[in-house]
Amino acid sequence: MKYIVCVKQVPDTSGKVAVKEDGTMDRSKMATIINPDDLNAVEAALSLKDKNPDAKVVVVSMGPPPAAGMLHEILAMGADEAVLVSGREFGGSDTFATSQILAGAISHMGIEDGDVIFCGRQAIDGDTAQVGPQIAEKLGIPQVSYAADIEQNGNILKVKRALEDGYMSIEVNTPCLITCIKELNTPRYMTVNGILEFDKKPYTVYDFETLKDEPLIELDTIGLKGSPTNVYKSFSPPVKGAGKMIEANEEGISAMVKELAEKHII
């Protein structure tokens, strides 16, 4: 049984965001972190492994070689194996091509009954929340998004799914894909043993050569060429002017009502 966790390295947007002249984010000038929702996905997999010690947690990321550091951290948290999907052919991928490549990499690992693929709900840079559901579609397996609680009973998962106004309880057969939200758990820290021994665990790089025989991996469905999305324009929204303060008294409210009426808002 395998728990495969998809993790993305993202720019740390909690500090100053570096922006290039064309309005796009200058990733080279920003520190990177593990995408926050993906830490919840890692914790979900490690918690299920705590109850099923024979299971293996495999963490996979598509990104440039420096993403290795992030994978080492997750090995130190307790994952058993890490896979970095990296190569020139994969560069410039939009969400369609990214999910195509990750689905190809997961097919290459092989999936069977009992296996679960975990993703974060969304990445804090691209922010589309499309990659997880697209991977499930491309692998032809069921998916449950926005997981707030997960229990595994053999080949079946019971998932509490967050909705806008409540929760839905849903059972799903494995293999399946789950997207995880912050409410699901509190991610654990790396352990001292994990930090000392992460480099004894298997770490593999899948390049185009490794994956080229996978049916999902074709040069015209991956990378820039395989990306149906084009960024037409990137810009910062105009800064809004300061609001107008009014006193919460009869005079202030009358003035506000008069002004709204003059502007035909009321």
Q: Which is nearer to ligand FAD, 22 or 247 (CB)?
A: 22
Q: Are 121 and 129 in contact (CB under 8 A)?
A: yes
**Bridge partner residues of 119 (DSSP):** 179
| 227 near ligand FAD (CB under 6 A) | yes
CA distance 243 to 264: 19
Q: What are phi and psi of 170, to 5 degrees?
A: -140, 140
The piece of 13-21, 57-65, 156-164, 252-260 that touches ligand FAD (CB under 6 A) is: 57-65
Q: Strand 176-180 relative to strand 143-153: parallel, antiparallel, unpaired?
A: parallel
Q: How many other C-beta atoms are found inside a 10 Å radius of the C-beta of residue 3?
A: 27
Residue from 230, 238, 251, 264 binding ligand FAD (CB under 6 A):
230
| 174 near ligand FAD (CB under 6 A) | no
Q: Are 175 and 116 in contact (CB under 8 A)?
A: yes
Residues of span 83-102 touching ligand FAD by CB under 6 A: 91-95, 98, 102
CA distance 30 to 11: 6
Q: Which is nearer to ligand FAD, 78 or 132 (CB)?
A: 132
**Bridge partner residues of 34 (DSSP):** 9
| 73 near ligand FAD (CB under 6 A) | no
Q: Which is nearer to ligand FAD, 34 or 172 (CB)?
A: 34
| 119 near ligand FAD (CB under 6 A) | yes
| 28 near ligand FAD (CB under 6 A) | no
Q: 34, 60, 66, 1: which is closest to 188 by C-alpha? A: 34
| 128 near ligand FAD (CB under 6 A) | yes
Q: 135, 129, 162, 125: which is closest to 147 by C-alpha? A: 162
Q: Which is nearer to ligand FAD, 25 or 256 (CB)?
A: 25
Binding mask 176-215 for ligand FAD (x = CB under 6 A): ----------------------------------------
Q: Which is nearer to ligand FAD, 157 or 239 (CB)?
A: 157
Using DSSP's 3-state secondary structure scheme, residue 114 falls into coil
Using DSSP's 3-state secondary structure scheme, residue 100 falls into helix
Q: How far is the CB of 36 from ligand FAD (least distance, A)?
A: 9
Residues interacting with ligand FAD, by CB under 6 A?
6-8, 35, 37-38, 41, 61-63, 91-95, 98, 102, 119-120, 122-123, 125-132, 227, 229-231
